Chains A and B, each alone.
Chain A
């Protein structure tokens, strides 16, 4: 038999096998184990050489040294609950893998993004940082100008209960058409903004009124959706500014990516981007009421 034939035979059995019952039981068994060195001794492992020098008779100095270390550890940022952006992503990742696949799928449907992939890109981003709510509100505000530049519509990203504006304003005809129409037909009519929505709070401030009377958009109102209370910002691999919102349990609940937030000139592109992250349908009539 030639070597090529041998290789062919070896390659003929490629592919993966599975054993679901064994898999399920082994998974449970493995995860119920304790990690190596977990607990008190793991924390002391770096100092075992100090302890093992005199196993039974700790000197006062050694005890003091260990106590000092314990104080330093206790005062460290990690233990004080102030998480860095990277730690926050790690926590979010842990949370993301803990929730049920059904819940994850539902949240991903809302986010219009793969949760784990989003966290992965956030973690890899060199400019990953924690964003305050104030920063988000400021950065998340979009102002769109009408065609002649006289009119503008401002959509404030976060307000009240912290409803994201992610993906709002998706017109039935398509975002570009809607905004184009809005710009072209807008007539001064006071404000249509200030609308408060039962699913959260979103403020839409505008100096314009839509001639057609209504426009529709998307925002979040789903039983599985909870308002974000933490924000992370980063630039995604395609250069888009991205905001990732986490709820109080560190679960990723929304993602907003725009090419240039707040820049009216980029509005069209932004809207296309935002469409991908749309999360709920809202309707606003010319009187500013939400349905």
Chain B
């Protein structure tokens, strides 16, 4: 991680000197943050807006950024995480790319719309994953965040602690309890389905599957 931090330091220093140098940070982390936002929200359009807000805020505040022993990307994940939380509280938001741009800005709407469709397709392709994510979204945002960072973004506990601004012990605890809650949530819809099937006379085999689990 120290190599990554050293590299990021050079990039951030350059961006502080010259805003155009922020472009290299953008290039480096755009895909990571987009992927994170897409996995967290399952909504391509929203994910793109979150990415836009994240980089917009990072760009504006890069001079105020302080190192906390983690790569620069941790800060971006933190901003993105906050944006996702804000969306969860207040789902209807403006479209930030359009908001970011001046009136004359060419948004290349068609291309971006096509990309959104592709991303949406990607986000919904794996039915099993979609089912898990549906259940994950029922948990508190803190649980969602640490589980996503740990298992989908492959972040170490230490880095997650920096991202969410908590102690490592808290992160471990959130992970443990979060997974237990997620398991419960996943069991609930299956039981509900089984009950529905029993009432329609086709549930015995489903119930046996639930017991095995």
> Which of A19, A91, A119 has the most CB atoms of chain B within a 10 A radius of its CB?
A19
Cβ-neighbour of A25 out of B22, B38, B108, B126 (below 8 A) = B108
In the assembled complex, the Cα of A20 lies from the Cα of B213 at a distance in Å of 43
Q: How distant is A117 from chain B, measured CB to nearest CB, in Å?
A: 8
Is the beta-carbon distance between A19 and B48 smaller than 8 angstroms? yes
Is the beta-carbon distance between A94 and B147 smaller than 8 angstroms? no
Is the beta-carbon distance between B61 and A36 smaller than 8 angstroms? yes
Residues in A whose Cβ lies below 8 Å from that of B101: 25, 29
Can you list 28 contacts pairing A with B, beta carbon distance less than 8 Å?
A2-B183, A2-B213, A6-B132, A6-B182, A6-B186, A10-B151, A11-B151, A12-B126, A17-B34, A17-B119, A19-B118, A21-B108, A21-B112, A21-B115, A23-B31, A25-B105, A25-B106, A26-B26, A27-B23, A29-B97, A30-B55, A31-B59, A33-B60, A90-B13, A93-B14, A97-B23, A98-B18, A120-B10
Is the beta-carbon distance between B152 and A14 smaller than 8 angstroms? yes
In this complex, the interface size class of chain A, counting residues with CB under 8 Å from chain B, is 35 or more
Residues in B whose Cβ lies below 8 Å from that of A1: 183, 186-187, 213
| Interface Cβ pair total, 8 Å cutoff | 163
- Beyond A6-B183, A15-B35, A21-B108, whether A33 also contacts B56 by CB under 8 A is yes
Which B residues contact A (CB, under 8 angstroms)?
Answer: 6-7, 9-11, 13-14, 17-24, 26-27, 30-32, 34-35, 38-39, 48, 51-52, 55-56, 59-64, 97, 100-102, 105-108, 111-112, 114-116, 118-119, 122, 126, 128-129, 132, 147-148, 151-154, 179-180, 182-183, 186-187, 213
In the assembled complex, the Cα of A90 lies from the Cα of B16 at a distance in Å of 9
In the assembled complex, the Cα of A32 lies from the Cα of B19 at a distance in Å of 9
Is the beta-carbon distance between B21 and A26 smaller than 8 angstroms? no
In the assembled complex, the Cα of A1 lies from the Cα of B135 at a distance in Å of 12
- Beyond A22-B97, A26-B55, whether A94 also contacts B151 by CB under 8 A is no
- Beyond A3-B183, A21-B108, A120-B6, whether A33 also contacts B59 by CB under 8 A is yes
Q: How distant is A255 from chain B, measured CB to nearest CB, in Å?
A: 16
In the assembled complex, the Cα of A93 lies from the Cα of B25 at a distance in Å of 13
Q: Which residue of B lies closest to A96 (CB)?
A: B14
> Which of B20, B27, B100 has the most CB atoms of chain A within a 10 A radius of its CB?
B100
Q: How distant is B94 from chain A, measured CB to nearest CB, in Å?
A: 14
Is the beta-carbon distance between A29 and B13 smaller than 8 angstroms? no
Residues in A whose Cβ lies below 8 Å from that of B18: 94, 98
- A272 CB within 8 Å of chain B: no
Q: How distant is A239 from chain B, measured CB to nearest CB, in Å?
A: 18
Q: Which residue of A lies closest to B33 (CB)?
A: A16
